[in-house]
Structure 1
């Protein structure tokens, strides 16, 4: 009898530990490849309906994967769009890397240049982007040499985070204390901004002041990121060699293996915002989750 009781207790502890260690957010085996017809995918973002848009940056195209599972070319000649984000009016705001600009693309696919230079100089190359509730644009500006540029060196030596107020053409530097800023995302309440430093391989959180300036830089975890998104519990999803998930406290709670060399960006899409879409090298993947996106 004693042996049976002991066995039962050990069995309970063993299987309970497995259940507790199982990732509560997603199932690795549910990862699904949508397509691998691209050269390098980037800039995943979602519209109000839950349709997902992403870029094939080297091929200068923007693609759409709609809520009914249809993949289609949305726009050719996209200004070498990299990071993207939808504003409240449904315009697609993009980091147009070809001429180092910020574009707004309306529902008729007509682009408008919102930003062109900083104090008469070309910025390094707007990379990733997040919009606040006021319609202001935060964007990272690392320097990655492109083969389609005529210039071979930066005009601005420092790699910064900029803020472009809504309706203005003049951006200002809001973070100059990062080596190579890349992934960026803010919280829905507008209180905090996360910025990843690819070169230092860390991610910081800033407090956002009422005037959109950033203060109180705090190290959240020792890992950088290419793209970032958040769920409704405040967890931070970052990309690189697969996808990693961190709590706001900096505790790592999940890892997703993606069978590609690199994951560039990420967003939640679908009608219920519970499907994770991952732009990874030449491919686009999707993964059902137990979480819900907030972007």
Structure 2
């Protein structure tokens, strides 16, 4: 559902007011928030349900796209409407890393979200970003912070506002392209494509559309064996996570519903299906109504890790011992058992 008078952020988080720019702050001591609900005993091998969810930093307009940078031991995450990628490290807190992260120069009123959104690190150590404001898939050299556009069009038409990315071992980049970054969404005069696509960008620069049928494709992730591609639908009418079977070429060969979040959405829990990650065992950590839905590889709900606010995305870090949560105006963390 596209509601021009209400931004996606209002739909996801129920946010009525946005903090003033420059109000982001790192907490001197981590403060607990939310909690963990256990639905299956398998969750105990992942996280102790009594483990606190800690707030690490606050004051963002909409935190998104966290990714752990192994070569350096720090986390990067986006404030999409704030147009900044922040860096967080233990003992240092959060500080701006890329400013602007997306669209440079004056932001026209036709752009709703000028910054980068989903982030990932490729095999070369580059930061790969879904640049919502510039409407491209880009690579950033973390040493020089120089940005290279990898793709900006499909069949000669500009993307809507790329949202999230997942990288295969081959170097192929899977990404989603809803119109959330455009002020008027589907009705934006800037829109050149008449659909919200799921795409694959090959290392040679070729862009292939994998699915053009969804209203709001959003988060995206690959299974560890790369035989399944997960897509989250941030659609109030269809709050689901889908699983696409991939063939030997990495192309879709079938699709099924992996997780239905209608019950949590109907109960009024904050958020919609958004970003997600998979672990080495194939479990899926999918954000949605109520927080991060921790699911077994076969789709069973093991537990929900929540902050009390909408969680937009998550990332593993600190040697796999932590799950970081980009949640509304905050960055949070929960310690994992493995």
TM-score (norm 1): 0.85
Partner residue in 2 for 1:45 = 67
Partner residue in 1 for 2:149 = 113
Task: Kindly state the Cα deviation for residue 104 of structure 1 after the two structures are TM-superposed.
Answer: 0.3
**C-alpha contact (below 8 Å) 1:145/1:152 kept by paired residues:** no
Secondary structure (helix, strand or coil) at the match of 1:277 reads strand
Task: Sort the Cα spacing of 1:28 and 1:120 in 2 relative to 1 into closer, same or farther, 3 A.
Answer: farther
Task: Kindly state the Cα deviation for residue 151 of structure 1 after the two structures are TM-superposed.
Answer: 4.1
**C-alpha contact (below 8 Å) 1:46/1:269 kept by paired residues:** yes
Are residue 57 (structure 1) and residue 80 (structure 2) matched? yes
**C-alpha contact (below 8 Å) 2:136/2:151 kept by paired residues:** yes
Aligned residues: 271
Task: Sort the Cα spacing of 1:28 and 1:55 in 2 relative to 1 into closer, same or farther, 3 A.
Answer: farther
**C-alpha contact (below 8 Å) 2:57/2:93 kept by paired residues:** no
Partner residue in 2 for 1:242 = 291
Q: Which has the larger radius of gyration?
A: 1
Task: Kindly state the Cα deviation for residue 74 of structure 1 after the two structures are TM-superposed.
Answer: 1.1
Cα separation, 1, equivalents of 2:227 and 2:51 = 35
Residue ranges of structure 1 left out of the alignment (5+ in a row): 1-17
Are residue 225 (structure 1) and residue 263 (structure 2) matched? no
Task: Sort the Cα spacing of 1:95 and 1:160 in 2 relative to 1 into closer, same or farther, 3 A.
Answer: same
Task: Kindly state the Cα deviation for residue 213 of structure 1 after the two structures are TM-superposed.
Answer: 1.4
Partner residue in 2 for 1:266 = 314
Partner residue in 2 for 1:204 = 242
Task: Kindly state the Cα deviation for residue 22 of structure 1 after the two structures are TM-superposed.
Answer: 9.1
> Which of residues 221, 227, 235 in structure 2 aligns to 1:185?
221
Please identify runs of 4+ aligned residues in structure 1 that moved more than 6 A: none
Cα separation, 2, equivalents of 1:171 and 1:254 = 36
> Which of residues 73, 77, 94 in structure 2 aligns to 1:71?
94
Tell which deviates more after alignment, 85-94 or 23-32: 23-32
**C-alpha contact (below 8 Å) 2:227/2:250 kept by paired residues:** no
> Which of residues 197, 200, 210 in structure 2 aligns to 1:160?
197
Partner residue in 2 for 1:275 = 322
String of CA shifts for 1:196-249, please: whole Å, max 9, x gaps: 122221111112223221111121121362100112221111113312111121
Are residue 214 (structure 1) and residue 262 (structure 2) matched? no
String of CA shifts for 1:86-130, please: whole Å, max 9, x gaps: 001110000111121011000210001111111121222110110
Task: Kindly state the Cα deviation for residue 73 of structure 1 after the two structures are TM-superposed.
Answer: 1.5
Tell which deviates more after alignment, 138-147 or 35-44: 138-147
Secondary structure (helix, strand or coil) at the match of 1:263 reads coil
Secondary structure (helix, strand or coil) at the match of 1:58 reads coil
Cα separation, 2, equivalents of 1:268 and 1:237 = 10
String of CA shifts for 1:135-194, please: whole Å, max 9, x gaps: 1110011122534999446321221100000131x3110123433211110022222111
Cα separation, 2, equivalents of 1:255 and 1:204 = 18
Task: Kindly state the Cα deviation for residue 69 of structure 1 after the two structures are TM-superposed.
Answer: 5.1
Secondary structure (helix, strand or coil) at the match of 2:81 reads helix
Residue ranges of structure 2 left out of the alignment (5+ in a row): 1-37, 103-114, 262-271
- Aligned-residue Cα RMSD (Å) equals 2.4
Partner residue in 2 for 1:254 = 303
**C-alpha contact (below 8 Å) 1:243/1:258 kept by paired residues:** no
> Which of residues 269, 289, 292 in structure 1 aligns to 2:336?
289
